[in-house]
Amino acid sequence: MGIIRKRELIRELIWLAQVPVVGAAVLTAAIFRFGWIGAIPVNDRLFSFSAAVLWLLAVKLAEDNRLIWQEPGKQMMRLLKTWLAYIFALLVLLVGIKLDISRVFLGVFSLSLLLYSLLARFGLLWYARQSQKEDRVRVLLVGSGEMANYAVRHIEEKTGQDVQIIGILGEAQLPGIRWLGTVNELGRVLHEEVVDEILIAMPLKDYEEWKWVIDRGEEEGKTVHLLANLGEKRLIRGQAGELADLPVISYMPSKQNIWQRMAKRAFDVVFSSLVLIGGAPVFLLIAFLIKLDSKGPVFFIQPRVGLNGRIFKMIKFRTMVPDAEARLKEVAHLNEMDGPVFKITNDPRITRVGKFLRKTSLDELPQFINVLLGDMSVVGPRPALPREVA
């Protein structure tokens, strides 16, 4: 996931987390003042509903992508300011409609809301920062000269940012950065390297050149950032944003929608979890039959190519003899496909249990582990073998 999309996702999750936060604050205040939520008087219930809507609105109005990765002190101060403004608006509302509620309930609710909001926000941000350590966004730098130098220095100085420059395309090399060729070799590099996003560091006057890079990047499904030279005229097309705090104009493929990605990922996690938990007895039975039929491991683990060319280990139930890969040359003449794809209808290396598993597609059940880990999706193309995309 790219920088801008990741920040949008975290921002939306922080806002969505306010729903259980408000609920927990109301529950805490109800238990503290009345003993249980069912004992809340009518006026306090009306207040709770109004307070919840007002808080969600306040957080939504105060959100800002640029603040998501700032140091905790600044985030805490912004949240505190939002909370103080919210409390003031809440008191004005109560006085205006002359709603009589328990002051103890109001006080406990307000303090609980602040505490739970802090916990939710920093909990999500801690998780995001932990995950970014293992999931740095790999950026290809396209450009040369002072703008490219500035981009490299700035990103390198931003320790803790989830950005890694994997190399540069341009007429000249930069110290400490891998030179991958000229701009015209963009297509080759995108196919040979794992590239998540592209950063163009060129003057805006080089319109034809960076426009070609943007068009080629969009064809490959990459988010393209154009380093904004604030001394020149800004473009109308594109989304203004930041990359490691650098001002950029981002061009994202239209197919990338933050809500669609969130919904798809949520479906993948829920569905794969249900399959893995509900299908546990089937997993054990298949594992037992595989071990009974032939010696060797239960699972077959094979490298596959995932999103943006990342290699991951795909898990399947073993359907062949343990030395199937070593015997590949023996059966190469039986291959029914052209090119790098290898397929034999009656492969002699397949075991008896393996034939049944392949016929029923049960050998693919462990792939839901990959779905849960985020390597694959329930709905999506078959991940290719590295040799098929070389």
| Residues paired with 140 in a beta bridge | 167, 198
For the beta sheet containing 246-251, the strands, ordered from the edge strand earlier in sequence to the opposite edge, are 179-181, 163-169, 137-143, 197-201, 223-227, 246-251, 239-243
Reported confidence tier of residue 342, pLDDT bands at 50, 70, 90? low
> How far apart (Å, rounded) are the C-alpha atoms in residues 140 and 217?
11
> How far apart (Å, rounded) are the C-alpha atoms in residues 202 and 205?
8
Residue ranges per structural domain of the chain: 3-132, 136-254, 259-389
Of 9-13, 235-239, 241-245, 303-307, give the range with the top mean pLDDT. Answer: 303-307
Q: Which residues, in sequence order, are CB contacts of 271 under 8 Å at separation 6+?
A: 368, 371, 378
pLDDT tens, residue by residue, 238-289: 565 666 666 666 655 554 555 667 778 888 888 888 888 888 889 999 999 9
**For 316-334, what is the mean pLDDT?**
77
Looking at residue 230, its pLDDT comes to 44
* Closest to 70 in 3D by CA, of 131, 158, 185: 158
Looking at residue 123, its pLDDT comes to 83
Alpha helices in the chain (DSSP H): 3-16, 18-34, 42-62, 72-97, 103-134, 145-157, 186-192, 207-219, 258-278, 280-293, 352-360, 367-373, 386-389
* Closest to 67 in 3D by CA, of 78, 51, 55: 78
> How far apart (Å, rounded) are the C-alpha atoms in residues 219 and 223?
10
User: What is the chain's alpha carbon radius of gyration, rounded to the nearest angstrom?
Assistant: 27
Cβ atoms < 10 Å from Cβ of 320: 19
> How far apart (Å, rounded) are the C-alpha atoms in residues 314 and 303?
6
Q: Domain 136-254: what homologous superfamily?
A: NAD(P)-binding Rossmann-like Domain (3.40.50.720)
3-class secondary-structure state, position 327: coil
* Amino acid at position 147, single letter: M
> How far apart (Å, rounded) are the C-alpha atoms in residues 363 and 374?
19
User: Quick one: tokens of 262?
Assistant: 């969130």
197-201 and 179-181 beta bridge pairing: unpaired
pLDDT tens, residue by residue, 75-114: 788 888 888 988 888 888 888 877 788 889 889 999 999 9
* Closest to 66 in 3D by CA, of 78, 49, 51, 58: 78
* Closest to 1 in 3D by CA, of 227, 324, 387, 308: 308
Looking at residue 237, its pLDDT comes to 46
Looking at residue 160, its pLDDT comes to 47
User: Quick one: tokens of 389?
Assistant: 């995309």
The angle formed by the CA atoms of residues 216, 194 and 184, to the nearest 5 degrees, is: 35
Reported pTM? 0.45
Looking at residue 161, its pLDDT comes to 56
**For 133-153, what is the mean pLDDT?**
79
**For 19-44, what is the mean pLDDT?**
86
pLDDT tens, residue by residue, 159-205: 445 678 889 898 877 887 888 988 889 988 988 888 888 998 887 77
> How far apart (Å, rounded) are the C-alpha atoms in residues 247 and 15?
25
Cβ contact 380:316 at 8 Å: no
> How far apart (Å, rounded) are the C-alpha atoms in residues 366 and 385?
17
Looking at residue 68, its pLDDT comes to 53
First to last CA, the chain: 23
Cβ contact 274:301 at 8 Å: no
Looking at residue 60, its pLDDT comes to 79
* Closest to 187 in 3D by CA, of 253, 227, 142: 142
**For 51-63, what is the mean pLDDT?**
82
Q: Is 339 left (phi over 0), alpha (psi -120 to 50) or beta?
A: left
pLDDT tens, residue by residue, 207-248: 788 888 888 888 888 888 888 654 444 433 456 566 666 666
Q: Average pLDDT over the chain, rounded to whole?
A: 79
User: Quick one: tokens of 96?
Assistant: 């205006």
